[in-house]
Amino acid sequence: GDREQTYLSPKWVRDVKEQIGGLPLVKTMHGAGTGPYPGHARGLCWEDIAWLCSRSPLPIFLKGVLSPEDAATCCDPGIGLAGVFVSNHGGRQLDGCEATADVLGEICEAVAGRLPVFVDGGLRRGKDVFRALALG
C-alpha cells in the first residue's frame, strides 16, 4: 500500500491515538525547520521514545542507531526499547554517513547483549552476512 497516505490519514492517526491513549506533543525548535509534512517535526528526544514504549502494546525497535553512545542509551530500562537497528537509511550514498559495517562492532560492544541488535542495509552477498555476524 501507500504508506505515506496511510500515515497521513486522519483516521489512522485517530485509531493510533485511541489505541495508545494519546499522542506526544509535536516539538519543534525555533529555526530547526519542520518535517516533510504539515504537523511533522524532525526533533525526537529520548523522553518521546520512552513515552511511546510505555504506551504501545507492541515492542518498539529504534532504527537509525549509528553511535555507541546512543546504543548504550537505548539499553536504559526506563526507555523500554525491545531492540535496535543499526542503519544509516541509505545515508552513506546520500550524505557521507558511516556505513553500517563500520559502526556495527562498536554498537554491539556498547549494547553488550542487553538488547537484540539488527543491521539494516549494506548486506548484498553472503560474505556480507558473515562479516556482520563476525562484527557482533
Is there a contact between 79 and 53 (Cβ–Cβ < 8 Å)?
Answer: yes
Q: How far is CA 73 from CA 50, 80, 83, 107, 117, in A?
A: 11, 11, 12, 11, 13
Tracing cell 537484540 back to the chain, one arrives at 116
Phi and psi at residue 2, to the nearest 5°: -95, 95
List the catalytic residue out of 55, 89, 92, 131.
89
89 is catalytic: yes
Phi and psi at residue 4, to the nearest 5°: -60, -45
Burial class (CB in 10 A: 0-12, 13-18, 19+), 133: exposed
Catalytic residues: 89
